[in-house]
């Protein structure tokens, strides 16, 4: 990564809201899944392994940052564990299908978080107008 890009990314992360950070993590996991799928299809297994590892690291980060007091956290941890299991399976069997499955789920979850963030933002804006 170029120094200017790195500085931009660092600033973006430092100024992001928690919702924006979550969406950035999903974007990263989706990007690494896409790269893994392409690498597997091209039989570039070392590259696939690297990108699958990156996707797994993001999923682990998503899991450990969950608030255990929130009721759906336990279910999300189980989902993330399943996704990691499927990515490991893809890596050991050198097949793209499990990664494609996980990527589909991640895209759906990301969209749900984007919509939730919009609802919170619009609710906060509405509350500020009425407050």
Q: Where are the domains of the chain?
A: 18-116
pTM: 0.84
Torsion angles phi and psi, residue 66, rounded to 5: -70, 145
Residue 5: predicted pLDDT:
66
Task: Please determine, for residue 63, whether its predicted confidence score (pLDDT) is greater than 90.
Answer: yes
Ramachandran assignment for 2, one of left (phi > 0), alpha (psi -120 to 50 degrees), beta (any other): beta
pLDDT tens-digit series, residues 66-107:
999 999 999 999 999 999 999 999 999 999 999 999 999 999
Homologous superfamily of the 18-116 domain (CATH): Flagellar protein FliS (1.20.120.340)
């Amino acid at each position: 990564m170029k120094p200017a890009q790195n500085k931009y990314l660092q600033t973006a992360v430092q100024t992001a809201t928690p919702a924006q950070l979550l969406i950035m993590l999903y974007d990263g996991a989706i990007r690494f899944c896409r790269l893994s799928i392409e690498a597997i299809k091209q039989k570039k297994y070392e590259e696939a392994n690297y990108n699958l590892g990156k996707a797994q690291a993001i999923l682990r980060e998503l899991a450990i940052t969950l608030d255990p007091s929130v009721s759906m956290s336990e279910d999300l941890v189980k989902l993330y564990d399943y996704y990691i299991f499927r990515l490991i399976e893809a890596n050991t069997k050198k097949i793209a299908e499990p990664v494609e499955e996980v990527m589909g789920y991640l895209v759906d979850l990301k969209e749900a978080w984007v919509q939730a963030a919009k609802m919170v933002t619009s609710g906060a804006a509405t509350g500020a107008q009425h407050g």
